[in-house]
């Protein structure tokens, strides 16, 4: 609610009109009008002033507001003003905007140092409840701070709630780091941004605004310069409106539906205002039909429609209760219920992103990503028809445009879990794909495998099969790739492979010998000792040792190899 104050001896001034327009832009619905200094004018002048005021507020939320005649000098009308304010306040508290959002928010308007207590910030609680001892995000810096104490109208209190003025004593915060426009909020809800979308409405008497024009933006307690990007037109005239994005010089905190006021960059005139309809920075394309349609739905749609649009804008970035609170104007409780219902009915899917994180996506988006990965695999199969499996990294790289590469891995894991995609460790292929080998290629493949099985730790080089390959010489590399993909061969280095069973025996022998030496207090193994252990030659021992280092079986220190899994294997002999 607002109290519009007009002096009876001055009546309506230019700033009075501007103040009323700003109150309308902020979307207020309740208010009073106080005609002050009534002791300085006669009754006729007071009546004329009241008529002028009634004419001014006609068609606004103050059209039927009571006008109270007051005098600070004589005290006339002050008691009636207090009663009227109380009545209007009770109407506000009973209104729909008074519902509990489930999270705390306060925009800082000033700060000071209190001797013996430290930094204190003040502001009006926008939503939620704050208690002594709570932790909140201090934004836009993103630091987590603790509430040491609370005061309301000079008196210490244990908690403050929406609508109250509050002085908050913060632990570990330096006074010089606090500035007007910063905010305190429940952790994880607000996200600093330099880009906001709004439906901007210009005042009837304002000058037109054009695309790329600089303006001054007031949002909460923040005042900053912004560049205006008009999305559906090139110019907005007086009394008109248009969809726009504001590219701010300073980071802002905003939620869906939050009012903002736009003035000339010089701050000489209020141009107009609107409400935030997209609170997190993402650049939208001008005159792009889909973007504009979804912005209109955000501005006009009901809460369910807004949630669907938020999910659309989030695309593969995922949605969360916090995002629905911020971008769709939901309460935290309703947002948590919506996501839980979506998981239950299958319209939302939780995808693992890395070892500890999960991302909530629309089922349709997950289907799209799975389809892209399967198409990528099909292309790889078409390109290399002899390979039944391809390196996971290569497949996941087909979605390299995603903001987080771990999301591609999570989507691929889902396909593997359902056995739509199969493959040995580190490799994948479509479950229904079969390598298309000719009879001669199948024979050559078997000869390659048999040659490596017979050779033990002195495997044949790839080049030695060229004569056997004949007309299949050009597909020799692919055939070796097939053997690796099927886990029959292990690549030691370019041109050198071991049969899978020999690689396993090599690991076991080297590991057992190093453990035994450790227990006896002896030093590690040299290349020559590993050569003798495997019954091979130095030609093969060196690349085999480098392979064991690379795959994490051993680690090299000087001339010796030690078990990589144990950092405490060095004996006193080895250290000496």
pLDDT tens-place string over residues 53-73:
999 999 999 999 999 999 999
* pLDDT of 572 strictly over 50: no
Give a yes or no: residue 332 inside a domain. Answer: no
Q: How far apart are CA 23 and CA 7, in angstroms?
A: 18
CA pair distance 153, 52, nearest whole angstrom: 36
Residue 573 has pLDDT above 50, yes or no: no
Same domain, 29 and 113: no
Nearest to 126 by CA among 220, 261, 10, 7: 220
Q: Is residue 468 in some structural domain? A: no
Does one domain contain both 199 and 291?
yes
Residue 449 belongs to some domain of the structure: no
Higher pLDDT, 481 or 571: 481
576: pLDDT strictly greater than 70: no
Q: Are 275 and 198 in contact (CB under 8 A)?
A: yes
Rounded Cα distance between 150 and 165, Å, is: 10
First to last CA, the chain: 82
Q: Which of 334-338, 462-466, 552-556, 564-568 has the lowest mean pLDDT?
A: 564-568
Mean pLDDT to the nearest integer, 406-424: 90
**162 and 216 inside one domain:** no
CA 132 to mean position of chain CA atoms: 29
Domain check: are 387 and 292 in the same one? no
DSSP state at residue 208: P
> 379 lies in a domain?
yes
State whether 206 and 289 are in the same domain.
yes
Q: Which CATH number goes with the domain that contains 247?
A: 2.40.30.10
How deeply is 382 buried, as exposed, middle or buried, from its count of CB atoms within 10 A (0-12, 13-18, 19+)? Answer: exposed
Strands 348-353 and 259-264: unpaired
CATH number reported for the structural domain that contains residue 569 in this entry: 1.10.10.10
Residues 86 and 115 in one domain: no
Confidence of residue 165 (pLDDT cuts 50, 70, 90): very high
Is 492 among the domain residues?
Answer: no
Q: Is the peptide bond prior to 152 cis by the omega test (within 30 degrees of 0)?
A: no
Residue 356 predicted with pLDDT over 90: no
The reply to whether 326 falls in a domain is no
Least confidently predicted of 12-26, 159-173, 464-478, 547-561: 464-478
Say whether both 110 and 86 belong to one domain.
no
Specify the length of the chain in residues: 576
Residue 98 pLDDT: 55
The answer to whether the CB of 287 falls within 8 A of the CB of 235 is no
User: Which residues touch 558 (CB under 8 Å, ≥6 apart)?
Assistant: none
Q: State the average pLDDT over residues 559-576.
A: 56
Local structure of 107: helix, strand or coil: strand
* Residue 17 in this model has a pLDDT that exceeds 60: yes
Radius of gyration of the chain (CA): 36
Q: Tell me if 426 is assigned to some domain.
A: yes
Q: What is the pLDDT of residues 234-288, one digit of tens each?
A: 999 999 999 999 999 999 999 999 999 999 999 889 999 999 999 987 888 898 8
- The residue out of 251, 275, 296 marking a domain boundary is 296
**Same-domain check for residues 7 and 94:** yes
Examine the fold and report which residue of 47, 70, 98 is the final residue of a domain before the chain moves on.
Answer: 98
Q: What is the mean pLDDT of residues 408-429?
A: 89
Task: Give me 532's structure tokens.
Answer: 């003798």
Q: Which of 75, 1, 88 is nearest to 38 (CA)?
A: 75
Question: Is residue 531 pLDDT above 60, yes or no?
Answer: yes
The boundaries of the domain holding residue 556 are 501-575
**118-151 pLDDT tens trace:** 999 999 999 999 999 999 999 998 899 999 999 9
Q: 290 with 199, same domain?
A: yes
CA distances for 213 relative to 21, 261, 265, angstroms: 22, 15, 9
- Whether 199 and 290 map to the same domain: the answer is yes
289 shares a domain with 200: yes
- Mean pLDDT over residues 469-482, rounded? 75
Looking at 185, 205, 223, the residue that finishes a domain is: 185
Q: Output the pTM of the full model.
A: 0.73
| DSSP letter (8 states) at residue 357 | E
Asked if the structure places residue 77 within a domain, the reply is yes
Number of domains composing the chain: 5
Looking at the fold, whether 65 and 123 belong to one and the same domain comes out as no
Nearest C-alpha neighbor of 162 from the set 114, 111, 101, 205: 101
pLDDT number for residue 91: 84
pLDDT at 96: 63
């Amino acid at each position: 609610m607002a109290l519009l104050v007009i002096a009876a001896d001055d009546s309506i001034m230019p700033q009075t009109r501007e103040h009323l327009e700003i109150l309308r832009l902020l979307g207020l619905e309740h208010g009073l009008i106080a005609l002050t200094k009534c002791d300085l004018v006669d009754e006729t002048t007071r009546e004329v002033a009241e008529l002028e005021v009634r004419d001014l507020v006609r068609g606004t939320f103050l059209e039927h507001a009571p006008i109270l005649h007051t005098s600070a000098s004589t005290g006339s009308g002050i008691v009636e003003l207090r009663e009227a304010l109380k009545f209007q306040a009770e109407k506000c508290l009973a209104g729909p905007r008074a519902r509990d959002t489930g999270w705390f928010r306060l925009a800082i308007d000033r700060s000071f140092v209190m001797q013996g207590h430290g930094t204190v910030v003040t502001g009006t609680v926008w939503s939620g409840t704050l208690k002594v001892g709570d932790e909140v995000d201090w934004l836009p810096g993103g630091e987590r701070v603790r509430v040491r104490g609370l005061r309301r109208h000079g008196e210490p209190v244990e908690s403050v709630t929406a609508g109250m003025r509050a002085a908050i004593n913060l632990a570990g915060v330096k006074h010089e780091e606090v500035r007007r426009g910063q905010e305190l909020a429940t952790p994880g809800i607000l996200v600093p941004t330099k880009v906001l979308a709004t439906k901007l409405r210009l005042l009837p008497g304002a000058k037109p605004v054009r695309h790329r024009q600089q303006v001054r933006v007031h949002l909460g307690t923040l005042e900053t310069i912004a560049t205006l990007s008009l999305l559906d037109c090139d110019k907005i005239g007086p009394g008109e409106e248009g969809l726009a994005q504001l590219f701010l010089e300073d980071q802002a905190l905003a939620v869906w539906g939050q009012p903002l006021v736009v003035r000339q960059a010089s701050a000489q005139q209020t141009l107009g205002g609107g409400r935030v309809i997209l609170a997190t920075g993402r650049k939208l394309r001008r005159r792009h039909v889909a973007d504009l349609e979804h912005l209109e739905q955000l501005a006009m749609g009901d809460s369910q429609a807004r949630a669907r649009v938020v999910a659309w804008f989030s695309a593969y970035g995922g949605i969360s209760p916090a995002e629905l609170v911020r971008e769709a104007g939901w309460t935290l409780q309703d947002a948590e219920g919506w996501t839980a219902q979506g998981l239950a009915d299958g319209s939302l899917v939780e995808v693992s992103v890395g070892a500890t994180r999960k991302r909530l996506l629309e089922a349709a988006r997950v289907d799209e990503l799975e389809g892209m990965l399967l198409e990528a695999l099909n292309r790889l199969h078409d390109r290399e028809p002899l390979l039944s499996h391809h390196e996971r990294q290569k497949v996941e790289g087909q979605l390299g445009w995603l903001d987080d590469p771990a999301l591609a891995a999570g989507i691929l894991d889902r396909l593997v879990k359902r056995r739509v995609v199969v493959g040995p460790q580190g490799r994948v292929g479509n479950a229904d794909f079969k390598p298309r080998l000719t009879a001669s290629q199948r024979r050559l493949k078997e000869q390659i495998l048999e040659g490596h099985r017979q050779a033990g730790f002195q495997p044949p080089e790839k080049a030695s099969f060229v004569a056997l390959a004949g007309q299949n010489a050009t597909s020799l590399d692919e055939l070796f790739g097939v053997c690796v993909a099927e886990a029959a061969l292990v690549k030691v280095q370019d041109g050198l492979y071991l049969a899978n069973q020999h690689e396993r025996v090599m690991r076991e022998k080297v590991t057992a010998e190093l453990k035994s030496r450790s227990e006896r207090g002896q030093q590690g193994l040299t290349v020559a000792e590993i050569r003798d252990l495997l019954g091979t030659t130095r030609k093969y021992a060196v690349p085999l040792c480098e392979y064991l280092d690379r795959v994490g079986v051993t680690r090299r220190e000087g001339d010796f190899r030690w078990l990589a899994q144990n950092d405490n294997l060095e004996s006193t002999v080895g250290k000496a």
